[in-house]
Structure 1
Amino acid sequence: MTQTRSGVFIAAAALALSAHPAAAQRSPSAGVEFSNDEVRRGLSWSGGRAALSTDVWGVLGPVEASARAATTRGSERHAGADAVIDVALASSWNLGPLQMRTGLTGHLFTGAREAMDYAELGASASYSYGPAQLTGGVEFAPSQDAIGGSNLHLYVNANAGIPGTPFTLIAGLGHSSGSTSDPVRAQRLRPDGNYANWRLGAEHRRGALTLAVDYLGTDISRGDFAGPYADRAHASDRIIGRIRYDF
């Protein structure tokens, strides 16, 4: 881990520890999920191929800790990595009608040809009204060699359960920008420079089982292949199906 990322982890952990928790202690939870593509911010992280993931979440005092491992199937976006492990620390608290959240996530890649790990900070605010929730937030990765600069992602998400049914409707809009120190590496998270992404979906939950379908898209142009990390062929609109089981 580079000195930059170590400093980010320490600062975010201190921030999380200083916040007040929004809820009482809860039991750890875990789940497994299968999807036909591992997509984040409209970009495939598994080279357009099916992916399997598993995750675990728990609370220790004021800190929420989670880890998620997902297959990346030799994705060129991540220098041929086989999998990514996302390790996160976060804390939530209430501010009037808003639920605030801050945290830190480290993205650790296994099997990559070169150093691909990076870290980012996040903050969000959520407002709930009946079965509906609106969330706006920011995720910021300070300048790091692995991503060729910095990366700033702004987003707004909405979800609403349909009363009397097991269905939830989901919508989201995001925008990614940042500084560039290495134009080739920067294409990893921003293949076309600054870009927007969107999501429309629905989930069906019955007990521990969740079935979901999402339409995901970006405004990234479909030009020629631009570099070894851009993976432009897997940055266009797509339909994603997901099956999840919670323990």
Structure 2
Amino acid sequence: MRLAWAAALGVAAHAIPAAAQDRGLAATIEAASDERRRGLSWSDGDPVLRGTLSVPVTSGLSLDGAATTLWGSTRHGGADAAIDIGPSWSQQIGGWRLTAQGRYHLFPGASDQGYGEVGAQAGFLIGPASVDIAAHYAPRQSAIGGDNLYVSAAAAVAVPGTPFTVSGHVGRSSGSVRDPVAAARLRPDGSYWDHGVALDWYRGQWFAGIRYAGSSIDGPARTHAGDRLIARVGFSL
């Protein structure tokens, strides 16, 4: 299964560039030292490969997908991968960019782990800097033991005269609990805060970066949720 996912992403690395040029698609391929989302490692702290693809449908509307290798994630029932798929809508209104999206998260290699969520984001550009606020909500589902709300604020600034961008974010996860075991999948210590800062380099189609990720999770639940430096490298179209 691991070899199959690595081979699939390898094929995608060769096939996506041609498709993107022909159809106006946006795509990325990258490798990272960890798959960390909202302060939690989805890959048990192991390196991952990731591919993304965005297909324009009409003005402002696209269908987006991402596939990430997880190599038997204990957080997601032994899943070998995470596949995120759904529509996104964006609209520029003055200096604001508004975005809404729906996502369903699939976990090949695991049973009854899939769940969906919706999100909205508002971003504002101030010269070379951007500020964003967002909220994502997963309605009550058995796979996550209740519902889940994630609210966040982020800022980024391109360093003038350099290919570097500095960014940071803070977020909070909360929600109801019907099944404590299943709820611990996304909130292993109940409601919690996460935070991070990053330095990214962009040159043409290539990018690389390093970021620090941390959370307020403490005690035994801190496994794969503690402070971590994460490196990544890839290319985009």
- TM-score, length-scaled by structure 1: 0.84
174, 178, 184: which one pairs with 2:175? 178
Structure 1 residue 66 and structure 2 residue 56: aligned?
no
CA distance in 1, matches of 2:119, 2:190: 21
Corresponding residue of 2:227: 237
Cα deviation per residue 1:46-94 (whole Å; 9 max; x = unaligned)? 0110000111112111421110000111111000000010002011112
Q: How much does 1:224 deviate?
A: 2.9
Corresponding residue of 1:164: 161
* Matched AA of 1:202: L
* Matched AA of 1:170: S
Give the 4+ runs in structure 1 shifted more than 3 A.
Answer: none
CA distance in 1, matches of 2:220, 2:97: 43
Cα deviation per residue 1:137-179 (whole Å; 9 max; x = unaligned)? 1000000000000000000111110111000001000000001
Corresponding residue of 2:83: 85
CA distance in 2, matches of 1:172, 1:60: 30
CA distance in 1, matches of 2:48, 2:115: 21
CA distance in 1, matches of 2:175, 2:93: 29
CA distance in 2, matches of 1:96, 1:243: 34
CA distance in 2, matches of 1:209, 1:97: 28
CA distance in 2, matches of 1:54, 1:224: 32
Corresponding residue of 2:41: 44
CA distance in 2, matches of 1:169, 1:97: 21
Partner-residue secondary structure (3-state), 1:181: coil
Structure 1 residue 224 and structure 2 residue 223: aligned?
no
CA distance in 2, matches of 1:207, 1:54: 18
Partner-residue secondary structure (3-state), 2:220: coil
Corresponding residue of 2:98: 100
1:121-132 alignment to 2 at 5 Å? 121-132=118-129
User: Any unmatched runs of 5+ in structure 2?
Assistant: 1-22
Structure 1 residue 56 and structure 2 residue 53: aligned?
yes
CA distance in 2, matches of 1:105, 1:207: 29
Corresponding residue of 1:246: 236
CA distance in 2, matches of 1:206, 1:94: 26
Q: How much does 1:97 deviate?
A: 2.2
User: Any unmatched runs of 5+ in structure 1?
Assistant: 1-25, 226-231
Partner-residue secondary structure (3-state), 1:188: coil
Corresponding residue of 2:13: none
Cα deviation per residue 1:162-200 (whole Å; 9 max; x = unaligned)? 111000001000000001110110000000000000010
CA distance in 1, matches of 2:99, 2:27: 21
* Matched AA of 2:147: S
CA distance in 1, matches of 2:129, 2:73: 36
CA distance in 2, matches of 1:27, 1:61: 12
CA distance in 2, matches of 1:224, 1:145: 24
Partner-residue secondary structure (3-state), 2:182: helix
97, 107, 110: which one pairs with 1:109? 107
CA distance in 1, matches of 2:178, 2:159: 46
Q: How much does 1:244 deviate?
A: 1.3
CA distance in 2, matches of 1:30, 1:96: 27
Partner-residue secondary structure (3-state), 1:78: coil
Cα deviation per residue 1:5-41 (whole Å; 9 max; x = unaligned)? xxxxxxxxxxxxxxxxxxxxx9211111100100000
